[in-house]
A and B are shown apart, each in its own frame.
Chain A
Amino acid sequence: MCRLSAITAKDYFSPVENILTLETMKEGHDGSGMGLILKDLGGEFESLKNVPVLSGICSNDGVAALDNYMKAAGFKAVHMWTPKIKPVRGITARDNYFARFYEYPKAAKELSQDEKEALLLKTRVALRKMGEADESIIVFSFYPDVITLKEVGDPLELCEFFGLENSPLKAKIIFAQGRQNTNYAINLYACHPFFIQGFGSMTNGENTAFVPIREFLSGRGFPGYIGYNSDSEVFTHILHYTVNGLHYPLNYYKDIITPLKPTEIEKRSDKEFAGHLKKSLRPLCIDGPNCVIGFTPDGTCFMVQDSKKLRPGVVGGVKGKISLVSEECGLNRAVPDRDASKDIFPMRYDMVIVPAGAEEVKVWNQLQGWTTTMN
């Protein structure tokens, strides 16, 4: 079972905190890959909030091809961050790990936010396709204020490999996953967390309903609904489809992936809509075992469980720093000075939502509605 560690805070913090949390939760082999997504960046990137960041890995040939493409597309590089790689036994270093900051092409500067996001997505997808066959270009995200880092190996060793302990890399929201028990050979595109247009998520467990969900998403005609090297990538795309595609409030994500029975829907104040939603989005119903932790472009983080709650997951913390993790011991490591009696273990009907800034924790229950446990 994979380890999940998400931390959201009002102040900037280092991804090392997430990695140590993963280490605390580790049981056995954990070397199938680690993914990190940093959102709301601090330090040297604080002044580059609106500048799109392309995160990825390239071979030396791939870098040249990428540069040519970006230049031709009119993107101008204004800043670059690369991890200071330290050789670690067992981890095969690739040529170039990078986060490149680009100015929008001149022609794009007058575009609306939606149009800009479409351009970024189109560019990322094109780069991915260019380098997919020979793995010369691997791109994880292309979006303002977001950096993604992924590699195969043990999370703690990868922390050393990327030199994160001495790195000024900091953010207010960081998602980390230690991937375990997967099929070899490992494709980095199968490594959580997944990202699309400001939405990200990571999951533990298998997704038994993967194929019907993938076929449904692929049929939406949205250019970003591709890949699916991992059965968990669909959770990110369902999230994006719910909020960006259908413009539903975030809590309806829970109703989509774990719809209620008709007798339960009858008790809802929005029963008419909830009933139609269940029918119209039937192929997106998951069956677990899954715990999903995600974030939205406005910095809201959340945790949901499948409808049988077959995976662990807990949310807790103090005002200004909340952690969403797969196991309680991880929470003890991430936020040790909290009141553990107020930890929330979301059950089958719950969606725990933490707005940006980590000042508040709300629980949406499909039957009971909203409650606020910390504000």
Chain B
Amino acid sequence: MRPLFKFHGGVHPATHKAESTRTPIAQAPIPSKLVIPLHQHVGNRAVPVVQVGERVLKGQIIGKPEGRLSSAVHASTSGTVNAIDMQLVAHHSGLPDLCVTLIPDGKDEWIAHSGVDYRQTEHTDLRHLLRQAGVVGLGGAVFPSDMKSYSHKHKIKTLVLNGAECEPYITCDDMLMRERAADILRGAEVLRELLYAEEVLVGIEDNKPEAIAAMQQAVLDDKHAHMEVIAVPTLYPGGGAKQLIRVLTGIEVAAGVRSTEMGVQCFNVATAYCVWRAITFGEPLLSRIVTVTGNVEHAQNFEVLLGTPVDELVALAGSKPDTDRHIMGGPMMGVDLPSGSVGVTKATNCIIESSPKLFPPPPPALPCIRCTRCADVCPAELQPQDLYWYAKAKDFGKTQEFHLFDCIECGACAYVCPSQIPLVQYYRFAKSEIWQREREAQAADLARERHEYRLMRIEREKQEKAERLAQKEKAALAAKAASPAPAVNPEPALVNAAADPDDTLQMRIDAAVARAKAQAATAQPKNVNTLTPQQQAEIAEIEARRAKIREMAAHAGADDEPPKSN
């Protein structure tokens, strides 16, 4: 029996997991349309590589990864691209983002794909395959998995496979482990190989005995060495990466330190399953298991194509008429969806249909009485009441001093708050204000640098011009000294020579005039080569008239009288 450790705090909310685990995972049918966001992962948004009206096959890349930290996005089924535009997405802001709308043709026709044997493939190629298959962390953080499967900087001793699933209502990982344990563990083997990890610890909360039994059986069946399935006590948020690492290994991941620096890497069980499918069968991440629960007739888990509109998904479970909103994720950390039209993404582990009866609106917040119950339950060992105090006063410097950025926004503090203060909202507000200020400070630094460079450049150009002129004048003076006879002055002097003792200005003017004259003499009009006699006669007439006018003007100028009219 492996000794287990404890993390600080935690709460025991009602789990509500039994409702959705009565029936096995059902395959959701192909919906009438798919709204596939191009930004379903941490990092840069994928760049669309299909055209509106184009027919795409199942598994075809429709968004290619951009930059180092990004992931590919695929067509979840075959069909026609109907639009590439801004659509509402599952995000706290309720703002639209770039999505590809796909109208399925119902044929579900696969693009040519094949897998590789991970034992005979270079690790770089495996990571590239994961990136091209769009595999990201399915626990909710959606961090590109290829970027997590490096071990060159730090020796990874332990790979933690996260099957804790601590948040109430959510059972997608539970059902996946019950039904597809063998593939999850094979995926874990691939990840272990990539990380050169010595052992794999699978952490599952002890309220999922069926999943634990299935996983333990799969370990025995496939004779996985260095792999252990461990039941951990049910305590929210025990599924947080840092918390699970603490419980399983006793390692405390310090603030601002990555777990890899302590020799531990953590993956979700569903991610491991997708890694196996992507490597061995060449199947990109096109669908995921989603729990549909809450205010529905029969709560269940569905395997859903990414991009399926939430409306069509909840209809499968029989959403009740008094549903007023959809929550994506769990009741503690979930996102209120702006509309039922948003598509299921890689981060959608659960849809909770909410009704006023199920989740009554919170009563108005009362003043903080500094009972410090929040500090007792905080899994990050922060002082939530102080963070609240400073965030409320918009004293963002102080919030950072109190380690605001170690807050994992689990909501345990707000759950126990006797004054019903929406604490996490304050922390999120403070975090986004700090990020905004950082962006502004960066922009200001860039602008300052560019402005200073511009001033320097203008000064330099001025100096260079002055130097060039000085050199030219020097050369001209030298030339003058060499040839004592001055250049012929065909025109009267325009500049007072006395003002320029060296005569350089006059010399330059004379030279320019001479150059212009020489150019005029050599230049020949090009449109007079082939002319009819009639045209030549016309030209001659015009020239004569011009000469006459010029003569008159010269005459008038000399006499200072207006020219006579003819």
The answer to whether A and B assemble together is no
What is the interface of chain B, defined by CB distance below 8 A to chain A? none
Binding site for B on A (CB under 8 A): none
